[in-house]
Structure 1
Amino acid sequence: MNLIVSAIGQGLLWALLGLGLYLTFRILNFADMTVEGTFPLGAAVAVANISQGMSPYLATFLALLAGMAAGLVTGLLYTKGKIPILLAGILTMTAIYSINLRIMGGSNISLIGKKTLLNNEFLEKLPQYFNSVVLGIVVVIVITGILIFFLNTDFGQAFIATGD
């Protein structure tokens, strides 16, 4: 049972990767491999900051900014550097793996005993592994809602038109 619940929780959190790929591949018509590299980059930034005693909420926000910066690099390589889109994404994604090691100072950092998003008072009262399911559902609903709102704005419609 615990394995199933853990897999569901991880699947919900990885659903965000699916949303990112959907935006780039289907809406923008842009074969961007950077999305796959930004998840480990965000994790590296969050873990490095949490291990230094930073609030997990601020560390998660910094992870979001790091992922945005990686996307910006890919966009600049494509638009200003005139590098083909697929190659720009692959270059950025590959570079991110080395950057992750530099950010963390090694290949692994332990968060045992550190405060994370998954060990707050409410989530700790849930059965084992249900914390990732609850957090995953909340995050997926919030991100999907923001995405739906964004795509219904004028800027979001321009975003869709860019892919067309």
Structure 2
Amino acid sequence: MGPLIREEQRQRVLGYIETGIAEGASVAAGGGIPGHLPKGFYVEPTVLTDVHPDATVAQEEIFGPVLAVIAHDGDDDAVAIANNSRYGLSGAVVSTSHDRARAVANRMRTGTVNVNGGVFYGADVPFGGYRQSGIGREMGVAGFEEYLEIKVIAEGARNG
């Protein structure tokens, strides 16, 4: 895991970890600054468990090495948790049943979903999110079409 861009970002990420703990999360791994890396703006890869779906670490984009683990009670609950966000850029579903994973992915309100390790990224693949994760798409035909000016002409019946 590489360093963050600057000290301010490292402090922001550490603040999210502290907020997660204050809101009831448990630190399963990481949670601090690695002692063996005195130079650079490193944060240990961190796993937070016991995270409530409405917790800050579940609702905001941390932009650091922090994973918030949220337990669910079946597919419907998992989809409700995944869609309980003002963001919707990307998601992932892993299952031993491809059909089940695909059914869950279809219900997620995200611009992209990786199923069982699939990688969506490619020059011909539209990229963009839902809700506050963006409007429109980059790349692919959908991204190209944003640069077109489309005209519709509606004519009524001609007189004479």
* TM-score, structure 2 normalization: 0.21
Using CA pairs under 8 Å that are at least 6 residues apart, name the structure with larger relative contact order, 1 or 2. Answer: 1
Q: Tell me which protein shows more strand as a share of its residues.
A: 2
Larger Rg: 2
* TM-score, structure 1 normalization: 0.21
Q: Tell me which protein shows more helix as a share of its residues.
A: 1
